[in-house]
Structure 1
């Protein structure tokens, strides 16, 4: 087997065009980058660069899956999936969309993408092993890529439930399920045989007044790399640490200097299905999908009725089925509104920031350094008049509470089906095809932890932030050559955590490597 490609540079100096001043990237013993910048613009350019260093293939694959462009690299099997995914993207005013997240969100996204592209330029010269094996090269990003709706749609599964409840034809559900179908490669590894069953959920969280806030961010399958990335961001106006999606700026759940918070799925109804006459008024949108191995693109139409995108037809009865979803409204890109939450310093700030959070539907738990606890549901929930929508519920109208008598708040994710699981776990990589690739990219089998087997967990301690702890298995890096490719698996298997160091002194005491990003002179 050839030697693994060089891992990302994590020490020394790199010149990064676009910076105004040097940025220091301190990686601790667990692979967490602590980013210290003199301006917010430099901070987020560095965040984009660092996350691309550790997760570029995952980020590139996510973008293709979320935008409906998998056919370009994986072929014609993904045409229907790509077309359906594109039908549920935002089509309104882009400037209004950016403004809905906050006045500086577009600026932050632009800096973040500039950092990603700086690493993409390097990766095009020396492609990481994942791209070589997958058979394509990374592409440059645009800020608008962060406005994607697919993750939020996948988290809003009530349309499928309505198909079942209304006894609609199964073809409607099949069409909806094509949105965001995970990419796959041929001869994927078979799962480990199951030897026990459990009812899985999307995570849970709890906070006690004057105590700690704990959360688990669960998914049904263990994947490699982790669907979360841990990062610490520090610049004027910013000092926040926690978990994010690798392709997004900011932190989705974690803490700043005064406030800790978590985000757990909550069940709200944001989708409706309408049976409409095929002869009714509609807008037709023409689109083209580039398909690997074909000279000409695949041309297709998206039909938009007054309710939403058409997903299926009943030609015998002259009907078409349209899905209305609040995620097509401005401000509903998944988790992008976390940038406002990251800077909350009080309960009032926190709730004001959550008023910008529209998707995915979440129950946010709150705990601050003064011991106050609270919860607030956040989602864009329609007001219904019969079958029609007539506006949106205000944040005050959604469930919330502050310092309840019990002194404790909690959130429990949506329960899934009871499923067979194995005591032995494998963190499976999408490229784990064939014995050699599985050996290179998959991690395991390892023993599952005795209790909570969520790959991402944290306990946040406002009375002493340096006593906080976290886990995001299997590791921070997707590169097999990195020491942080699988270093967190043992801790996860034992049900343990690593210290989520926050203060300058604690970071210095646990420093593994320091990289300085220098502006171009």
Structure 2
């Protein structure tokens, strides 16, 4: 039962993951037998166990450690608003309430972040634990807690832990969650006490999933084995600054450094996507050891892809939307702020909605804030207080570098000398098995990731015979340099943002948010809007941009420092009256002296949002809260706008294919769930990518996509195991395939005018014709798409719809993904037929490498009305509860799928009016 804390719907482990899954299923075999052993006992077990873990939400409970009474008011969706008279009571109550709803989720997460999954799930998780111990998140979190965080933050973390432990006191597993009852049949696992470090560690997991371009570094290095610099440049085109605007467009940066707008500097390289991606030697790749590098990186992919995800899709940088519009352009005359982070679909949702209110804000009790947080973490991550609101999107800045290390005996080479490894021994406890000890080795660049695979170690030693190596030592290894492996202050930043009353406070708070680096948008009740980029962002030597792995044995490739906080881009009250962040470039490369990354998102979503805003405001129109909601639901396909006019001009001989082609006539490029045209176009797009690129890419390059679980579209539930393995096996045998995201939009766009490019050539396959140019390949893709959809949806195109292909299944973490069928039935929900698509504003993402099923989603949506905070709106993907069969398990999902938002009460009067249940926590 490999944990996946965001249970990415449609996402499938690789071959090693399937082996682990088979082992894990043996662990819960006893549970299956117990359930089916007798009807009466099974019925009793199910009812009693489900009810045993439901939280008390009315009446009163006495908690040791409170200094005064705390009110917990829940609305009709079970969303809690907490009222206390001291900071410590407020956060203690937050810990208690989150544990009531989500403790199993919290427990799995802390075992993941500390590399202790094997303690819960047995030997199937040992490999994952070895890798996570090598990263050492919990060790870094402990140092952070001990040496970096403020005394106030430590008090809040302690209070939160006290609240969680007050909930755990005296409870057996089945009283905490249904999953514990299931696990209880297989082992004697008992949850340990919660600690402050458990909370801090979660920020490291969050940073890992949002770490940036590590996979792109690996891809580019692997591509050099088969493609030339020009071909690699084709696959990583320049960011289109002339078409898709960067976030920062106006000159606030010059207030600090005087360099913005002068085009004066490239001291840190260039900030453009793919700036030197095609020139391996110029960027300082570790090509001195080509064989070692290729082998090590290929093996590292398998290790990375098998890890459980935290809040994203394991480093693949999905994206998010956030934008703010000033009062000059709104109906209320005050700003509106929208946010919808795009993350793996999970059950329960990664987000937890709540309000934290001091009855009287003072030095003793400083908080009056509401929004979204993570279960296991005190405070609010995204939301608003009574003065300001903020949203986040992943900036994508490059904070990780991989290094090829030359290993010699008990050390590694560095500037011609052999330096000793830093080592430590770790013991992994295994439920139902014997403990396993590992040795973690690190160089001055960071931990050796390659040590965590026996195969990688063997490959590294074999690679030492490569005559292009710097010498003939013991082999190669891969190390990781990453900002999050240094202790930081992000937990301080969370509380500082929650307290901030104005732009100055917010900027000071943001400066503490070192990892992960996020785009932060801002609005306040005084009418101001702003943007700031915080984070610990490394600087590198000239001509070293971090786009590909570097030689660790040469000091000139080490980081040279970090971008000073007062030189990071920001905007405040720009004249245009809006700010949009959707993972596009932060700032034009010619207007900024530092390299932030070479791998921005390409701005498809951000520019569409800008266009939607301008369509409302250019003629003096005003934007409402509902207009912001409608923008979040925009399903327009930007790649369809480019390709469909070309596709309609093609002469199609086959009448059945021509019938499908006619679906595109008059189509408005909107990917609604009931659209047959959207279904056909997206199949054509997938087949264009497959024909043009897949067979030309090295087999080792996964191109941002695991082999995916793809459920047959004519069933109402998940595919059976045989079908999953069969489909995955077919894809494993195929060449790599692009994921179809907006980088591939840009790749195809830049190749469109070169009709005879080699990329457009593809061989004959069976009865399918070969292609020697662009139009012939497009015809072939239309043929292949027609028969692919015939097989999936039927020959009658009148029955086709995008929603039949593009479906969301919500799978509960751990037992809902690899438990026995009975538990999957109990814990999982779906499907939902969804609108939207890849790189649309309504980013219900799918991965062209695996099919059309939904693999990431807008994990929540919110619109904050700074004119009247009680008129703000919000929604979560699932619900407040992590308990299967709770009324609040998935009670928001139908509304989320339909694009609706819930009322978001904030003031005392509005909260009282919406309250359904009140629980009083007493000292």
TM-score, scaled relative to structure 2: 0.52
Q: What displacement does 1:319 show?
A: 2.2
Q: What are the equivalent positions in structure 2 for 1:126-137 lying under 5 Å apart?
A: 126-135=175-184, 136-137=189-190
The counterpart of 1:74, out of the listed 103, 121, 128, is 121
Q: Judge conservation of contact 2:493–2:511 (CA < 8 Å) in 1.
A: no
**Aligned match of 1:187:** none
**Bigger Cα displacement from structure 2, 25-34 vs 101-110:** 101-110
The counterpart of 2:374, out of the listed 221, 245, 259, is 245
For residues 98 and 356 of structure 1, the distance between their equivalents in structure 2, rounded to whole angstroms, comes to 17
Q: CA RMSD in A?
A: 2.4
Q: Judge conservation of contact 1:65–1:180 (CA < 8 Å) in 2.
A: no
For residues 174 and 339 of structure 1, the distance between their equivalents in structure 2, rounded to whole angstroms, comes to 40
For residues 310 and 229 of structure 1, the distance between their equivalents in structure 2, rounded to whole angstroms, comes to 35
Q: Judge conservation of contact 2:212–2:397 (CA < 8 Å) in 1.
A: no
The counterpart of 1:374, out of the listed 527, 530, 547, is 530
Following superposition, which runs of at least 4 residues in structure 1 exceed 6 angstroms of deviation?
Answer: none
Q: Judge conservation of contact 2:371–2:383 (CA < 8 Å) in 1.
A: yes
Q: What displacement does 1:175 show?
A: 3.6
Structure 2 residues not aligned, in runs of 5+: 1-42, 223-292, 310-315, 328-334, 359-364, 413-419, 451-456, 465-474, 542-555, 584-599, 602-703, 705-738, 742-801, 837-841, 845-857
Q: What displacement does 1:94 show?
A: 4.8
Q: What displacement does 1:179 show?
A: 5.8
Q: What displacement does 1:72 show?
A: 1.6
For residues 140 and 22 of structure 1, the distance between their equivalents in structure 2, rounded to whole angstroms, comes to 24
Number of residue pairs aligned between Structure 1 and Structure 2: 502
CA distance 1:60–1:512, shift in 2 (3 Å): same
**Bigger Cα displacement from structure 2, 131-140 vs 41-50:** 131-140
Q: What displacement does 1:452 show?
A: 5.4
**Bigger Cα displacement from structure 2, 254-263 vs 411-420:** 411-420
The counterpart of 1:172, out of the listed 268, 286, 297, is 297
Look up the SS of the partner of 1:55 in the other structure: helix
Q: What displacement does 1:127 show?
A: 4.0
Q: Judge conservation of contact 2:143–2:487 (CA < 8 Å) in 1.
A: no
For residues 93 and 443 of structure 1, the distance between their equivalents in structure 2, rounded to whole angstroms, comes to 35
**Aligned match of 2:826:** 440
Q: What displacement does 1:398 show?
A: 1.9
CA distance 1:323–1:201, shift in 2 (3 Å): closer
Q: What displacement does 1:328 show?
A: 1.1
Look up the SS of the partner of 1:321 in the other structure: strand
Q: Judge conservation of contact 2:317–2:396 (CA < 8 Å) in 1.
A: no
**Aligned match of 1:298:** 436
Q: What are the equivalent positions in structure 2 for 1:93-242 lying under 5 Å apart?
A: 94=142, 97=145, 100-124=148-172, 126-135=175-184, 136-148=189-201, 149-167=204-222, 168-172=293-297, 174-175=299-300, 178=303, 181=306, 201-210=318-327, 211-219=335-343, 221-235=344-358, 236-242=365-371
The counterpart of 1:315, out of the listed 444, 461, 478, is 461
Q: Kindly indicate whether residue 740 of structure 2 is the aligned counterpart of residue 418 of structure 1.
A: yes
Q: Kindly indicate whether residue 397 of structure 2 is the aligned counterpart of residue 397 of structure 1.
A: no
> Which structure has the highest strand share of the two?
1
For residues 150 and 310 of structure 1, the distance between their equivalents in structure 2, rounded to whole angstroms, comes to 19
Look up the SS of the partner of 1:277 in the other structure: strand
TM-score, scaled relative to structure 1: 0.90
Q: What displacement does 1:89 show?
A: 2.5
Partner deviation per Cα, 1:139-162 (whole Å, 9 max, x = no partner) = 211111223223312211422322
**Aligned match of 1:192:** none
For residues 234 and 367 of structure 1, the distance between their equivalents in structure 2, rounded to whole angstroms, comes to 20
**Aligned match of 2:73:** 26
Partner deviation per Cα, 1:27-57 (whole Å, 9 max, x = no partner) = 1122111100110001000000100100011
For residues 212 and 62 of structure 2, the distance between their equivalents in structure 1, rounded to whole angstroms, comes to 44
**Aligned match of 2:406:** 277
> Which structure has the highest helix share of the two?
2
Considering Cα pairs closer than 8 Å and 6+ residues apart, tell me whether 1 or 2 has the greater RCO: 1
Look up the SS of the partner of 2:811 in the other structure: strand
Look up the SS of the partner of 2:404 in the other structure: strand
Q: Judge conservation of contact 2:400–2:481 (CA < 8 Å) in 1.
A: yes
Q: What displacement does 1:332 show?
A: 6.0
For residues 200 and 389 of structure 1, the distance between their equivalents in structure 2, rounded to whole angstroms, comes to 23
Q: Kindly indicate whether residue 385 of structure 2 is the aligned counterpart of residue 256 of structure 1.
A: yes
**Bigger Cα displacement from structure 2, 255-264 vs 482-491:** 482-491
Q: What displacement does 1:435 show?
A: 3.8
**Aligned match of 1:194:** none
**Aligned match of 2:518:** 362
Q: Judge conservation of contact 1:264–1:411 (CA < 8 Å) in 2.
A: yes
Q: Judge conservation of contact 1:31–1:476 (CA < 8 Å) in 2.
A: yes
CA distance 1:122–1:476, shift in 2 (3 Å): farther
Partner deviation per Cα, 1:219-246 (whole Å, 9 max, x = no partner) = 1x32110000001001221000000111
**Aligned match of 1:191:** none
For residues 121 and 295 of structure 2, the distance between their equivalents in structure 1, rounded to whole angstroms, comes to 27
**Aligned match of 1:428:** 811
Q: What displacement does 1:123 show?
A: 3.4
Look up the SS of the partner of 1:75 in the other structure: helix
**Bigger Cα displacement from structure 2, 508-517 vs 93-102:** 93-102
The counterpart of 1:460, out of the listed 864, 878, 881, is 864
Look up the SS of the partner of 2:376 in the other structure: coil
